[in-house]
Amino acid sequence: MDAHTKIYGIIGYPVRHSFSPVMHNSAFQSAKINAVYLAFEVLPENLKDALVGMKAIGIQGFNVTIPHKETCIPFLDEVYPTAKIIGAVNTVVLKEGKFIGYNTDGKGFIRALETELKIKPRGKRFFILGAGGAARAVGFNLLQEGARELALYDIVRSKAESLVIDLRLHFPNAQIELFTNLPNSPLKGFNCLINATPLGMKKEDALVIDPKVFHPKLIVCDLIYNPPQTKLLKIAQSKRLRTMNGLGMLLYQGVLSWEIWTGKKAPVSIMRKELEKAIAKK
């Protein structure tokens, strides 16, 4: 590091658990870019000041995580249309003195689906559990990529309802369904089940859905990456279903952020290796 080192980072609260610094610093080192990626813990009430300060000292780009993904939007100079529609920003770049916001979470999931499971969303039917920020980004991108049907369930009915309304507004020709109860029979016709709730992060968590909804061709995805194998994925694997955890989404949202910042192709395999190592250590 010297007087020319460019600074990137992540803002969130809390943020000390983040694997992004390891992933991005390994990419900068591998590409021989004189840059560093740091974690900045920013309290919600300090968000505006933090962003003003970050711009003043020339932070070149940063990721945004909970709880700032939605609330940072009014303080950015420009927001990419997809991020505006999703209503959340996870990546910001400093360009000609302006902070420009993007959302790479949903695209990261699509890239993981295509790379790890060789599945393209076009014409497929997805069932999403949870209607928070992650479900919003994933759902929007699945429909944008031509998914044929999206069904949504959230324990808080109003959250699922409002996501269904927003998605229907932007994709009037897609089949978007609201489930007010958890299904309890096989999800016939659905290609893929996605857990976009935090249920499964803790050992003692209950199963998010009864495995009797599985059918032999169902693909089961969990957006959780720590632990790498949630109870849901373990049961799906024991039934020989194809599965994917959240590591690919985490990796590819980071890859896309890094490419926005640097304009270069990201060293994906190095970033993956470092992420896996860091998660295994936890």
Binding-site member from 20, 103, 104, 197 for ligand NAP (CB under 6 A): 197
Q: Are 82 and 90 in contact, with CB atoms under 8 Å apart?
A: no
Q: Is 217 a catalytic residue?
A: no
Binding-site member from 64, 150, 250, 266 for ligand NAP (CB under 6 A): 250
Residue 163 binding ligand NAP, by CB under 6 A: no
Q: Which residue, chain included where needed, has tokens 């808080």?
A: 156
Give the nearest distance from C-beta 183 to ligand NAP in angstroms: 12
Residue 156 binding ligand NAP, by CB under 6 A: yes
Residue 225 binding ligand NAP, by CB under 6 A: yes
Residue 134 binding ligand NAP, by CB under 6 A: yes
Q: Which residue, chain included where needed, has tokens 């009797």?
A: 212
Residue 199 binding ligand NAP, by CB under 6 A: yes
Residue 94's alpha-carbon distances to 9, 60, 201, 262, in angstroms, are: 12, 5, 34, 11
Give the nearest distance from C-beta 65 to ligand NAP in angstroms: 8
| Beta carbon nearer to ligand NAP, 52 or 156 | 156
Residue 131 binding ligand NAP, by CB under 6 A: yes
Identify the three-state secondary structure at position 232. helix
Identify the three-state secondary structure at position 93. strand
Residue 244 binding ligand NAP, by CB under 6 A: no
Which residue has the closest beta carbon to ligand NAP? Answer: 132
Residue 165 binding ligand NAP, by CB under 6 A: no
Q: Are 266 and 258 in contact, with CB atoms under 8 Å apart?
A: yes
Residue 154's alpha-carbon distances to 164, 214, 242, in angstroms, are: 11, 18, 24
Q: Which residue, chain included where needed, has tokens 């497929």?
A: 124
Residue 255 binding ligand NAP, by CB under 6 A: no
| Residue 160 to residue 132: CA distance in whole angstroms | 8
Binding site for ligand NAP (CB under 6 A): 66, 105, 129-135, 153-156, 159, 196-199, 201, 208, 223-225, 246, 249-250, 253
Active site residues: 69
